Structure 1
Amino acid sequence: METGFRKWIIVVTIITSTIIELIDTTIVNVSINTMSGNLGASLEDTAWVITSYAIANVIIIPMTSFLAEKIGRKQYYIGSILLFTIASALCGCSGNLWELVAFRFLQGIGGGALLSTSQAILFETFPPKERGLASGIFSLGVIIGPSIGPVMGGYIVDNMSWQWIFYVNIPIGLMAALLSFLYLRPTNASTDNRSIDWFGIFLLAVGVGALQIVLERGETDDWFAATYIIVLTVLAGFALALLIWWELRIEFPVINLRVLKSATLSLSAIMTFVLGFGLFSAVFVFPLYAQRIIGYSAFQTGTMLLPGTLMAAVISPFLGKILQSGIRPQFLIITGFLFSAVFGFLMSKSNLETGSAYFFIPLVFRGLGAALLIVPLTALAVSELKPQDIPQGAALNNMMRQMGGSFGIALINTYIANRAANNRTALITHVTASDLATQQRIHGIVSNMMAHGASYLKAMQQSMAALENTVVRQTYLMSYMDAFLLLAITNACCIPLVIITIKKRKTGEVQKPVVVSDH
């Protein structure tokens, strides 16, 4: 525990590190169109810049507890900041898409370690009676990071080159490393002979990586019509099944799956996966929808996310205290999923004429929903675990959130592409030469073009192009609306899972929820 100036310097340093790590999960989202054009890559391929970072997070998070003990928490934390910072510089210097994807993976390795270790350091900085406040402060970083990313990314893309979305991390990272060196208490490396579960790490990386490629590339390459998709699907299934068997067999697994014997933790892990799915997918889909369909700039898109983020920031510091006062986390979680479902439902009702004012309310629901889920879900997940199992339970829960985000982006991208194909087929069946509305539209465009000096042939070509653009825009509008509705349904379906965890016993018999670290 720390006091006075040192305590709050550590808080600022930790939250800054957490925020820049999570900013990088979404800062690319609003610049993906620009990067795609500048790097000469498709939008589907460019999405790997986002997903490679998330995959690296998923792989490193369950390993951080062991590595921090083995190396020493302070040393590991500073090393992670420096790795993140160096990788950020390399991302900005990348000459092609796949270099960028590789350096983003490296950046994710450093960033994932920051996320887990930051929570542990912050938790230990506060005395037990103030740990509710500590958890609220940490959740503040978790919410602000993904939400402020599009704002920063939008401003940078509109005013500078996309490389600066990575270069901006360099001075912040160096300052965080310096403050950590000066103010964090030294920690000694563990002297035990506990072996590293290298085989488990290998299986985790192979299984998650193969599954991610299948999800990301399946739609583009017609799923199982492509041989490599079949091979990777089999590899993912085999690796993940073997991982489960191996982790349950050895004494010191990289992921302690034995804690999943707790039904509450198992259900919470599912809900946390959905939280990650919704949290990251919404911040991925909304910028694409706002820029590609509505026509907003990258910066305008980012600023629309701010009101909800600010409201979430206001309530986050109080959530830990509310839980420690005896309020059961399930009630907050139900409200959080309900708010998140309302966000998706309201967004699915927007259209091409929707103004920015309409988005204010659903985006506020999104921010509040995220705030009401992050801390209470962690508290619920570990509420029935033995003290010695709590760090592993919390780490598993954090991993599920990042995995939900990683898979969510790939799944929602695939879902939009699939719905676009179906929606286009449905639309063009009504756009025929015999359709009166189509004839009138073509005639109006032709007449207008010819009135401005175009020949009949040129005017007809322009009318066909205009009609095609209208069909494409309407197709993707319907597809994004379907995606938002999917997010609403997914969140709503989690509410019954929360209700299952509510047990009929007296309040006095319920373990008072606390927010824990990953270590």
Structure 2
Amino acid sequence: MSGQMQRGGFLSGPSLILAGAVLALTNFMVVLDTTIANVSVPHIAGSLGISASQGTWIITSYAVAEAICVPLTGWLAGRFGVVRVYIVGMIGFGLFSVLCGMSTTLGMLVACRIGQGLCGGPLMPLTQTLLLRIFKPSQHAQAMGLWAMTTVVAPILGPIAGGTISDNWSWHWIFFINIPVCALCVFGGLRLLTRAETPTEKLSVDKGGLALLVLWIAALQIMLDLGREHDWFNSTAIVWLGVVAAVGFLIFLAWEITEKNPIVDLRVFRHRGFTVSVISLSFAFATFFASAVIIPQWLQSSQGYTATYAGYATAFSGVAAVFMSPVVAKLSGKVDPRLLVSAGVLWLGLSSLLRVYWNSQAGFWTFAFPQLLQGFGMPFFFIPLTTLALGSVLPEETASAAGVMSFLRTMAGAIGTSISTSIWDNSTRVARSEIVSRMHTDPTLNALSAQGFSVDQVRSVVARLVDQESLTLATTHIFLLSAIIFVFAAGIIWFTPRPTRAVDTSAAH
């Protein structure tokens, strides 16, 4: 009958449509939360009495927690069942969203964002798995198209939603809006998906590898986030964090290579194509994600943009990506994927070069146009690179390789954000020092004094202009560095062998 579970675990009729909508909405919400806070950082920083650079911890903490939890998804699903893990993850995501919105200190907010990331990490691959379980094989292409569309559209709407909510209500609501979505998805999952549950078995988990993974990643991220404030390695605490991160990473490598069932299967790195593809992905995605964090902060702190308009300017990067994704999907089977990836990453580098010419007198479209242009290159980068990476490993290693790739991509985004924010802050200080050393203040003092400004007012005006220009110079330096990294990522992809077999990219997430 229509709406009943068919043999093989598939749904049909209205139940299939509703279940697909629930899973698509879940994926949309989880991806949305990776970008919705980007434009809200100045609001949150002002409310909690912290610096904007400290505010980026809200973004990096979520990304790191999500990255740590992704490798556990397969074990969790096998041990407790796909649907049970999905339901518990949704409930946890909703509860931590409530706590994020209620946070009154930076520590509480970061802790709750970590909880959000731990619960949300498995949801993205689980929605993919469940879509493939409830749709018949002949409908898998449509199912993955639905999933991919939410993955592409969510980052576009994230900055717009975050800016609009922060300006018109308060930043707390960027988290509270998850509550009705979580409630709806949990209800829908309980009613529609329980019959698609997978069998469970007692599986061993690589506890040592997991502990080492958490240890070195936590030490590294804390070091990157706190280093600037503690004068880096002139601080004993930062030195110890660096030692723990380095030693922990080396022990983790040795452990995982010798472990029979590793939490992160490092054996896939024996394939040159996979290794090179992941290096290119990590550098390019770290640079791309860092710019998505820095641009809205700069527009609000230096250019006087509201969070809403900063969101509009940032979101243009996803508009062209929506239209180009189907084109790239068709070209992937006809054109050498290395050429597509190289062209796409170089295109991202070109958009970064255009930003090098930004100045404090530029208008909205000067800022929005490179974002729009960037969107044309994004699908050429992400889609063929997945094909290259997964096509380089053995068919039975595809799931493990996809998990490793997702883990490293997410970690790269968090680490790239921390490093670029630190470079941005240091470049601002250097630029300010150079501007001040070359200033001739007497003509400005005389001109403004003639217009009735007091000496203190003149100093205030000059200081504000110096701060604005130094921040702008630092921002353009970041984009010049970004362009160089994009060129590097585009070049090394040619060390990857061309795939010799068809690849099932549905394993990627």
* 8 Å CA contact retained: 1:194, 1:252: no
Q: How many Å apart are 1:108 and its aligned residue?
A: 0.5
TM-score normalised by the chain length of structure 2: 0.93
Deviations, residues 277-310 of structure 1 (Å, cap 9, x unaligned): 1332121011012111221111111122344322
Report how far residue 49 of structure 1 moved.
1.3
Q: For residues 121-140 of structure 1, what are the alpha-carbon distances to aligned partners after superposition, in whole Å with 9 as ceiling and x for unaligned?
A: 33445555665554444333
Q: 1:309 to 1:17 in 2, by over 3 A?
A: same
> Superposed, which structure 2 residues align to 1:289-304 within 5 Å?
289-304=298-313
Identify the residue that residue 500 of structure 1 maps to in structure 2. Answer: 495
Q: What letter matches 1:251 in structure 2?
A: K
1:194 aligns with 2:203: yes
When structure 1 is superposed on structure 2, of 10-19 and 50-59 the one drifting more is 10-19
- Corresponding residue pairs, total: 499
Name the CA distance, whole Å, in 1 between partners of 2:342 and 2:141. Answer: 20
Of 440, 443, 446 in structure 2, the residue corresponding to residue 443 of structure 1 is 446
Q: Name the counterpart of 1:259.
A: 268
2:280, 2:146 → 1: CA distance? 22
CA–CA distance in 1 between the matches of 2:111 and 2:328?
A: 38
Segments of structure 2 that go 5 or more residues without pairing to the other structure are 1-9
Other-structure match for 1:456 = none
- Distance in 1, matches of 2:137 and 2:392, equals 19
Compared with structure 1, are the counterparts of its residues 44 and 306 closer, same or farther at alpha carbon in structure 2 (3 Å cutoff)? closer
- CA contact 1:338–1:492 (8 Å) conserved in 2: yes
Measured against aligned partners, the alpha-carbon deviations of 1:391-439 in whole angstroms (never above 9, x if no partner) come to: 00001111111111111110111010111122122211101xxx3xx32
Q: CA deviation at 1:150?
A: 1.2
SS at structure 1 position matched to 2:451: helix
Aligned partner of 2:5 in structure 1 is: none
1:132–1:319 contact (8 Å) kept in structure 2: no
Contact 2:155 2:315 in 1 (8 A): no
2:36 counterpart residue number: 27
1:138-157 map, 5 Å: 138-157=147-166
Q: 1:402 to 1:80 in 2, by over 3 A?
A: same
User: Does the 8 Å contact 1:132/1:321 carry over to 2?
Assistant: no
- Please name the residue that 1:515 is paired with: 505
* 2:429 counterpart of 1:425: no
C-alpha change, 1:125 and 1:380, in structure 2 (3 Å) is farther
- The answer to whether the 8 A contact 1:269-1:381 is kept is yes
> 1:416 maps to what in 2?
424
Asked whether 1:400 is paired with 2:408, we answer yes
Query: In the alignment, is the contact (CA less than 8 A) between 2:133 and 2:196 conserved in 1?
Result: no
Q: Does 1:305 align with 2:314?
A: yes
Q: How far did 1:251 drift?
A: 0.7
Question: In the alignment, is residue 227 of structure 1 matched against residue 236 of structure 2?
Answer: yes
2:191 to 155, 158, 182: 182
- Whole-Å separation in 1 of the counterparts to 2:128 and 2:283: 21
Structure 1 residue 202: Cα displacement: 0.9
CA distance in 1, matches of 2:219, 2:76: 25
Aligned to 1:270: 279
Alignment of 1:370-381 (within 5 A): 370-381=378-389
Partner of 2:361: 353
Residue type of the partner of 2:345? Answer: F
CA separation of 1:180/1:517 partners in 2, compared to 1, >3 Å: closer, same or farther? farther
Q: Which residue of 1 aligns with 2:338?
A: 330
- Counterpart in the other structure of 1:454: none
Whether 1:57 aligns to 2:66 is yes
Q: Report the alpha carbon displacement of residue 335 of structure 1 after superposing the two structures with TM.
A: 2.4
Is 1:482–2:477 an aligned residue pair?
yes
- Is the Cα contact below 8 Å between 1:328 and 1:513 reproduced in 2? no
Partner Cα distance (1:275, 1:147) in 2? 19
Change (3 A) 1:328 1:513: farther
Report whether the alignment pairs 1:316 with 2:325.
yes
Q: 1:6 to 1:499 in 2, by over 3 A?
A: farther
Structure 1 residue 318: deviation in Å? 5.0
The two structures have a TM-score, normalised by structure 1, of 0.91
Query: 8 Å contact 2:155–2:318 — kept in the other structure?
Result: no
Cα contact 2:341–2:493 (8 A) shared by 1: yes
The offset of 1:390, in angstroms, is: 0.4
CA distance in 2, matches of 1:335, 1:46: 34
Shift of 1:518: 5.2
The CA deviation at 1:12 is 2.4
**Which residue in the other structure is 1:75 paired with?**
84
Q: Is the 8 A contact 1:293 1:477 kept in 2?
A: yes
Do structure 1's residue 248 and structure 2's residue 257 form an aligned pair?
yes
**Percent identity for Structure 1 against Structure 2:** 28
Q: Return the letter of the residue paired with 1:242.
A: I
User: Deviation at 1:66?
Assistant: 1.1
1:34 & 1:319 partners in 2: Cα distance? 38
Compared with structure 1, are the counterparts of its residues 202 and 92 closer, same or farther at alpha carbon in structure 2 (3 Å cutoff)?
same
In the alignment, structure 1 segments of 5+ residues that lack a partner are 451-458, 504-508
- Paired with 1:53 and 1:243, the residues of 2 have a C-alpha distance of 22
Q: Shift of the alpha carbon at 1:246?
A: 0.4
Q: Which moved more, 1:5-14 or 1:156-165?
A: 5-14
CA RMSD of aligned residues (A): 2.0
Superposed CA offset, 1:292-339 (max 9, x none): 12211111111223443222122324544443x443322321222022
Conservation of the 8 A alpha-carbon contact between 2:274 and 2:496:
no
